[in-house]
Chain A
Amino acid sequence: MNLERVVFGFFVILTLSLNAAFVAGGVETAAHHNVWILTFTIIVNLVAIGLKLGDRSQTGALLLASGLVAGLLLITARIVWIVADPEGGSGPGPGDMADIVSIAMGALVANVIATVILVGDTLLSRR
């Protein structure tokens, strides 16, 4: 067992889980989506990116790329939230909420890809 693999696997899978937790619910309903979960997802994702820096293997490069895509989309979603809800009151309107959730849905795809690569690589190397 390799400690680095445990730590990295933890952060990648946690990003996926948090991302899924955020997008679950009605697309236009602000009450179904928690801005704290979105923020946590961004932080965990950034940690996963940081752990992959310095890896020179092909799978490492692919994992870094998918992490960067997910990070970009999640941060975009967070910025849209800030712009759409300046007072921090009742949350964004239905139109803005649909934008935020669909962007986060895109990040979910990137996270699924990262997890599939991680699991596949581990299964193929079998050690």
Chain B
Amino acid sequence: MTPTSDLDRVAMIVLRYMRRPLFVLLFVYSVGIMGMALMPGKVVEGETTHMNLFHAFYFFTYTATTTGFGELPNGFSEEQRLWTIFCLYTGVIAWFYAIGSLIQLVQNPHFIQAMDGFRFARKVKSNAEPFVILCGFGDAGSLLARGLSDHRMRAVILDADPERIKALGVRDYTVPMPGLHADASAPKHLLAAGVEHPACRALVALTNDDDVNLKIAVMARHLNPRLRVICRSTSARHEANLRALDNVTVVDPFEIFAQLVSRAIARSELHNLNAWFVGTRGVELGAPVQVPRGNWILCGYGRMGRWIHHNLQAHGLDVCIIDPEVDANQVEEGTAIVRAHADHAALMTAGIDDAAGVIAATNRDADNLSTLLSVTELNPQAFRIVRQNSHENQVAFDAARADLVLQHSLTTARRILKLLISPLVQELIDWLAGREPAQTRALVARLKAAVGEEPPHLWSIRLVPSQAPAVIDYLEAGGSVALGPLCCDARAFPARLPCEALAVHRAGESIMLPDADFPLGVGDEILLCGTPWSESMLQATLHNPYTLRYVVTGVDEPRGYLFAWLDRRRRRRGAHS
């Protein structure tokens, strides 16, 4: 069996729907034209004239379509007029029938879907820019699409819910983002979305169903083994399956969320740096949230609660759990448990009076918000961290004035965006998490000195001929370029540009926070953080051989042959004497 495309389906549906109306038209036309040719016309000079076949066709065409030019080319006889009446009624009825069928076809849901699929596949195929396939357009999916649009990265979106795809049509993205209402786990739809397209950079499986995500990841792995897959998963069983596939990154929203919560509590300086990098509203670099030390109360012990508890314990914090359905066997010995909903009484039992803070982390926004109200009443000093489940409740959470509001769809979308746009940033954050807090503070001080109060601009450069021709030429000529001189400002040598190199990626390995005298090599990828204009200044250094020589050696070398020759002569003389 040959594979059928959407175009084949469209053609088939059209043929099936239009077959009968077309036959009816053919029949009516044939009978009308023949009859008109056979009808005796006016008698001219004693002889009965007849209409020829071409004139009969011409007459029928303008009659059946109700144009009605009159009696052409000559006046009609009475017989012909009788036949005209017949032609008119049958022809018009046949046309109405055909047009009605056509309208019905255009409104047919199968036809609409086949046409959408065909147009979508054509749009994806003709796209030459790099793009990402996004399966699932829920809260996290739409936030990720917004982030990609801010970075001018295209996305192709698949979602099983037609309403979400309709909503996609009214978003004001900066780049085209074609969407299709289809089951993303069907390989046919993945192919239409461009899984095998050479410009496809990655596939992100973000549906709410772990089974569907696993299926998408497996299908994509078979269709294109080189494609990078990022997959959302919340269950250990699926995660084990996914980790067995290479080139697949598993993203667990609960784990990411729990990691953020525990870092906000135990490593506030790192949390502050991370929030500044991702551009969270109202974050000032070097001014971390002051989190009190002491006992914490965790409300809600589901999948998210377990992750948070686990991470907090790893940081050596004491936690008291409030949850009506917590199973004592799941919790380690020595952890205080209150089996109730997080109301006044439960909070009092858990020791809210001398608690350092409360984490409201149930999966119901109303419960979390009411817990916040109780906490504010019982212990206004307590630090309040709250989990926001639905993006729609944003205004209520803004009004609740919690110390830290974390929304897991947003944290997931940001993590995936970081993995797609600048994977080195996340590596750096994880690297810093494993080091002493003093190292993070030193980096923050350096960034504050270089970039200042402005929001950060992160970008990466690759030392390849297309992106840094001057550097490649210089290195291949036997010169050596260090990181520090490369970031010098050619207009005010030897002052530095307002940017800091955060990491260098070389041959599969990442070197974090390289020194200023770190020697660069061909093919290195450098992650930089600075102001937008420092990027364009650095671009000039990377492209112009004279600017590069100047920042590396501090000497403005002659450009033309004549002055280069004079320079060499002078130096030779200097060496002789």
Residues of A near any B CB (own CB < 8 A): 2-4, 7-8, 50-58, 60, 125-127
Contacts and interface: CB of A to CB of B under 8 A. Distances in A.
Interface of B: 490-493, 543-547, 556, 558-564
Given A51-B563, A57-B545, A58-B544, A127 B490 contact: yes
Contact of B492 (A8, A53, A54, A127): A127
A52 B564 CA distance: 11
Contacts of B545: 56-57
Given A125-B491, A127-B491, A127-B493, A54 B560 contact: yes
Q: Which of B559, B561, B562 lies at the interface centre, i.e. has the most chain A CB atoms within 10 A of its CB? A: B559
Nearest to B543: A58
Contacts of B564: 54
B576 to A, nearest CB: 22
A116 to B, nearest CB: 19
A50 B562 contact: yes
Nearest to B544: A57
A7 B566 CA distance: 13
Contacts of B543: 58
A25 to B, nearest CB: 34
B560 A55 contact: yes
Contacts of A51: 560, 562-563
In the complex, the 5 A-B pairs of residues with the closest C-beta atoms, listed nearest first? A54-B561, A55-B559, A126-B491, A4-B563, A54-B560
A56 B477 CA distance: 15
B544 A53 contact: no
Contacts of B559: 4, 52, 54-57, 60
Contacts of B544: 57-58
Contacts of A54: 559-562, 564
Contacts of B561: 53-54
B560 A125 contact: no
26 contacts: A2-B556, A3-B563, A4-B558, A4-B559, A4-B563, A7-B563, A50-B560, A51-B560, A51-B562, A51-B563, A52-B560, A53-B560, A53-B561, A53-B562, A54-B559, A54-B560, A54-B564, A55-B559, A55-B560, A56-B545, A57-B545, A57-B559, A60-B559, A126-B491, A127-B490, A127-B491
B574 to A, nearest CB: 16
A126 B491 CA distance: 5
Given A125-B491, A127-B493, A57 B560 contact: no
Given A50-B560, A51-B560, A51-B562, 17 more contacts: A2-B556, A3-B563, A7-B563, A8-B560, A52-B559, A52-B560, A53-B560, A53-B562, A54-B560, A54-B564, A55-B560, A56-B546, A57-B559, A60-B559, A126-B492, A127-B491, A127-B492
A7 B563 CA distance: 10
Nearest to A3: B563
Contacts of A57: 544-546, 559
Contacts of B556: 2
Which has the most chain A C-beta neighbours within 10 Å: B493, B543, B546?
B546
Contacts of B558: 4
A4 B565 CA distance: 12
A126 to B, nearest CB: 4
A3 B564 CA distance: 12
B485 to A, nearest CB: 16
Contacts of B493: 127
Contacts of B490: 125, 127
A114 to B, nearest CB: 15
Contacts of A8: 560
A60 B560 CA distance: 9
A125 B556 CA distance: 12
Nearest to B561: A54
B149 to A, nearest CB: 32
A119 B561 CA distance: 22
